């Protein structure tokens, strides 16, 4: 399992980074990203702490860890600027909290995230065909989520992604140890939303390539 969307005590997760990584490794993970929630109020502090953890732990961690953040409930007009500022801090993996069906995310967030240059649009809900085409054009990954609530639109996201050739990643959005999953369970999530075995193999390849490019 490669999981590029997880959370720690640096935002609303249950574990400090080192314990999350240890539990993920024990679960059979091969790599992961820590992507704690940020907005304009805390992005610099959280980014600095995640970068410090990964840098100071280099060589001691059992699996590769990619430093990231997740812009969450940020007004669409501010998303692009915040992404640029976060990149300047040295964060290589930027996620934006998409228009999930489970939360009142402001309309326009999906489009602003794609145009703003996010790496991953998390749980994008009822994303439009136009937005999926834009994601293809901009090289933005769309997420298939294993998290309750956020997974409600997985079938819709998978259908449009296959129709237009968008790249997919499958993540847990883990906030607690119980959210971590095995690769076999991830496969079932993929097949359960209408993807094929070949599609799932493509997701695994894409996740591996993301890790290699950002190590």
Question: Mind listing the pLDDT tens digit for each residue in 102-121?
Answer: 999 999 999 999 999 999 99
Reply yes or no on whether the pLDDT at 215 is more than 90: no
pLDDT digits (tens, 9 = 90+) for 196-214: 999 999 999 999 999 999 9
Residue 183: C-alpha distances to residues 3, 41, 191 (Å) = 10, 35, 12
Q: For residue 214, report the phi and psi dihedrals to the nearest 5 degrees.
A: -115, 10
Question: Residues 18-39: what's their mean pLDDT?
Answer: 98
pLDDT band at 24 (very low <50, low <70, confident <90, very high): very high
CA dist 48 and 34 (Å) reads 12
pLDDT band at residue 25 using 50, 70 and 90 as cut-offs:
very high
User: Domain 2-214, CATH 3.20.20.140 — does that match?
Assistant: yes
For residue 133, how many other CB atoms are within 10 A of its CB? 16
Domain boundaries, the chain: 2-214
């Amino acid at each position: 399992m490669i999981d590029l969307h997880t959370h720690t005590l640096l935002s609303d997760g249950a574990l400090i980074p080192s314990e999350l990584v240890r539990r993920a490794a024990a679960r059979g993970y091969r790599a992961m990203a820590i992507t704690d929630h940020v907005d304009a109020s805390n992005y610099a502090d959280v980014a600095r702490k995640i970068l410090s953890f990964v840098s100071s732990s280099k060589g001691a961690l059992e699996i590769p860890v990619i430093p990231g953040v997740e812009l969450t409930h940020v007004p669409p007009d501010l998303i692009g600027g915040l992404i640029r500022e976060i990149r300047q801090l040295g964060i290589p993996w930027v996620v934006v909290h998409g228009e999930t069906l489970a939360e009142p995310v402001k309309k326009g967030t999906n489009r602003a995230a794609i145009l703003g240059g996010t790496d991953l649009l998390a749980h994008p809900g009822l994303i439009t065909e136009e937005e999926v085409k834009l994601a293809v054009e901009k090289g933005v990954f769309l997420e298939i989520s294993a998290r309750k609530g956020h997974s409600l639109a997985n079938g819709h996201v998978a259908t449009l992604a296959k129709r237009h050739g968008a790249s997919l990643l499958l993540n847990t959005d883990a906030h607690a140890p119980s959210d971590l999953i095995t690769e076999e369970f991830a496969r079932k999530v993929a097949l359960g939303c209408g993807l094929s075995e070949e599609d799932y193999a493509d997701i695994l390849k894409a996740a591996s390539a993301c890790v290699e490019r950002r190590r």
